[in-house]
Amino acid sequence: MREDLVLSDPEQFKALGHPLRHRLLLALRQRPATFAQLATALDATKGTVGYHIKILEQAGLVRATATRRVRGGTEQYYEPTSQRLRIAPDAPVGGDFLVKAALSEMLPADETAADITILRHVRLTPAQARSVAESLERFASSDHLPTDTPTGQPYGMLLSLYRADIPSLPVEPSAPAHTEQ
């Protein structure tokens, strides 16, 4: 299995910041594909796909993997350089980059789909936060997650542990008990 690609170069983030390039990379995670196959899947022209694939290739996000002969010509197959991308701690962007990417690929709510989004806030020590982050990483990397099936619907999973700007009320010596009204 290929190692994670650690993103740190501003050109990588610029390449990923364009919606079509983001979608191209998502499509290529399924399997290697040609310009023609990608153009069909994304309802774009081969020229547009070729332009954006070259930008992704220059940024080190995709690579040519194989060729095949077609009607006297040659088609090139492209694939991601890594199945997983990781943002370097010293990168010029933060987690908000991933949140924006996730939001851009979200479809409207569907009553028949198993969509769920939860936002919770907890207070943790730095050691607890590291432990939770390690647990999230193990969960996202684990073999107990369902495997991709060709007939399955695509779902995104954004796991994030971030420091939140939430005000802290001072602790009262004897806070009143909560009563229902």
Cα–Cα distance, 81 to 60 (Å, whole number): 7
The chain-wide mean pLDDT, for the chain, equals 82
Q: Give the mean model confidence (pLDDT) for residues 159-180.
A: 68
Cα–Cα distance, 163 to 27 (Å, whole number): 32
- Per this entry, what is the length of the chain? 181
Lowest-confidence pick of 26-35, 84-93, 126-135, 157-166: 157-166
Residue 78's pLDDT band, with cuts at 50, 70 and 90, is very high
Q: Phi-psi category of 62—alpha, beta or left, where left has phi over 0 and alpha has psi -120 to 50? A: beta
Cα–Cα distance, 114 to 36 (Å, whole number): 32
Q: Is the pLDDT assigned to residue 110 strictly greater than 80? A: no
Q: Which domains does the chain have, with CATH numbers?
A: 5-105 (1.10.10.10)
- pTM higher than 0.75 for the full model? no
Q: Is the pLDDT assigned to residue 168 strictly greater than 60? A: yes
Characterize the bridge pairing of strands 62-70 and 85-87: unpaired
At residue 181, the pLDDT reads 54
**CA end-to-end distance (rounded Å), the chain:** 58
